[in-house]
Every structure is written in structure tokens, then in C-alpha cells.
Amino acid sequence: MRLVKSIDQVRKAVRAQKEQGKKIGLVPTMGYLHEGHLSLVRLARRKCNFLVVSIFVNPAQFGPKEDLREYPRDLKRDLQLLKKEGVDLVFCPSVAAMYPGGYQTYVEVVGWNKILCGASRPVHFRGVATVVLKLFNIIEPDIAVFGRKDFQQAVIIERMVKDLDLDVKILTGRIVRERDGLAMSSRNTYLSAEQRKNAAILYQSLKWLKQAYVNGLRDPKTAESRMAAMITARDGRIDYIAFVDKNSLEPVKELRRGTLAAFAVFFGKTRLIDNTVLGSNLDIGHLFIPM
């Protein structure tokens, strides 16, 4: 497994593989890897012949008051984990290489970047789309894999790829959860023991919703207030709870198959996200729990 920091070098390394007819895969990450990331790496590994994982804590996707500085990093451990997964190349560029002085170009998926998570994180998806486009231009992957925990991100990337005529296939991997159902996240490390325990309510609220939907619940407002009550009872502070069409991200008036239920919730200063699509299975750990 090669570790490459320079843009020119990674481009050269990947092109040499392309010329040999290899199919290139990319899993973009911000590092501090957990089983969620590794499941995406395993998915990508099966779909390509030369697998690149990027590790880059992207300043452009953090707002000025967000946790860019505190974001957890552990490159040494990340490299050990990736080596075990049979990754071919890890790309770890510096901020100065990705955003040199005078940098001023940004991509926006207009509309979708200001709703849901974009409402409280106004520059977030602009930063995500921009860094992903840069990584695509540098690596020129045939396939790229994103997780469905940030469902909105995956939808935005798919839209960008289509709109900008990028020749890369986007695959998405399912949410991987802790034993109590909490979606894995590098940010879970911020939680105190009590917050960590309370945060299991997020998964419980999704489980409740799935069951309530099966039992006939169709009104999004009722669903929202019930979930909000469950979460606030455990000291979670709601950023948003939304029920939207999973393709258009438009709010639905009635819950139905294909409705995305998504939320962001603060426990203390830590903002956690999770979601599920109605009519699909809700996954926990490495198992699918049918609701």
C-alpha cells in the first residue's frame, strides 16, 4: 500500500494503473476511520482493481464556528486499517496542496445545498461538492463510494456527477451501527458517557417510525412531534427532523414508501445525523433488522 501526498504523484500513479487497463475505485474520507468507512472500502474493493482511499479533513466543508480544529485525526491507525483491507494507495494531501493561496473556485448544487443539513451548515455542501470534484479530477476514478449516513451528501454528489458530465459511477454503502443502534461516526468520540448512552434514542426513534409507518402512520407532523419528544426527553436538541422524497429531497405531505426520514440532533455541542428510508430495511451493525 502506497501513501502519496502530492497531487502530481497520485495522478501519475493512478494513470500508470489505468494504462494497464485497471478499473480505479475511490473512497473519499476525512480519516479517523470506523467500521462505516471500512464497509465502504470493502464495497469499493469488490468493484475495482486499483483502490484509492483519500484522507483529507476538508476545511471548505466546515463553517467558521464548527469543529475543524477538534476533528479527530489518527493517520497511523487509519493506515493500519486500510492496509488490512487491501487498499492500493492512500492519498493524504495537505491543505496547502488542495487550497493554495488565491484559491477561489467552488461548486454548488443549487437548492439542495441550503436545505436539511445545509440550512444550519450553509457552506458545508459547497465544500463537499468542491473537494469531491477536485478528488475526481485528480484520481479520475471509474467508481466512487459514499455512505448513506449522509444521505443528502450522496444525493448531491450523484446530482453533481450527472450535471457536470463526470464519467464516474457513484455507489452508496449502508449505514453501519454500534450494538445499541447509534450510527457510527468519527464525531461519536466527542460524546460524554451519558450523552453516548442517550444518543441511542436516535436509532430508537427511527425504529419507532418504521413500526408506526407499518401500523398506518402517514402524517409527517405527527411523526416529527413524536420523534422530537422521544429525543428531547434524552437531552437531545433537535436541529431538524425532515420527511422528504429520497430522490427530489422535496418535503412530503404524506409518509410513503421511498420517503427519507432524516434528522440532525445535538448532544451537547456534538451534532449527530441519521436517517432511514421508509419501506426499506433498517440496518443495525452488520445485520438487517426487518421492521
CB 209 within 8 A of CB 229: no
Q: Counting contacts by CB under 8 A, is residue 129 touching its own copies?
A: yes
- 160/106 Cα distance (integer angstroms): 12
Minimum distance between the CB of residue 157 and its own copies, rounded to whole angstroms?
A: 10
SS3 274: strand
Query: Please, which of residues 152-211 interact with its own copies by CB under 8 A?
Result: 159-160, 163-167
Q: How many residues bind its own copies (CB under 8 A)?
A: 26
Minimum distance between the CB of residue 94 and its own copies, rounded to whole angstroms?
A: 14
Minimum distance between the CB of residue 225 and its own copies, rounded to whole angstroms?
A: 31
Q: Closer CB to its own copies, residue 108 or residue 283? A: 108
SS3 199: coil
Minimum distance between the CB of residue 95 and its own copies, rounded to whole angstroms?
A: 14
CB atoms within 10 A of CB 202: 27
- Over the window 95 to 124, marking each residue x when it contacts its own copies by CB under 8 A and - when it does not, the resulting string is -------xxxxxxxxxxx------------
- 85/118 Cα distance (integer angstroms): 33
Amino acid occupying residue 95: V
Q: Counting contacts by CB under 8 A, is residue 137 touching its own copies?
A: yes
124 is an active site residue: no
Q: How does DSSP assign 227-238, residue by residue?
A: HHHHHHTTT-EE
- Rounded CA Rg of the chain: 19
Q: Write out the catalytic residue numbers.
A: 37
| Binding footprint of its own copies on the chain (CB under 8 A) | 7, 11, 102-112, 129-130, 133-134, 137-138, 159-160, 163-167
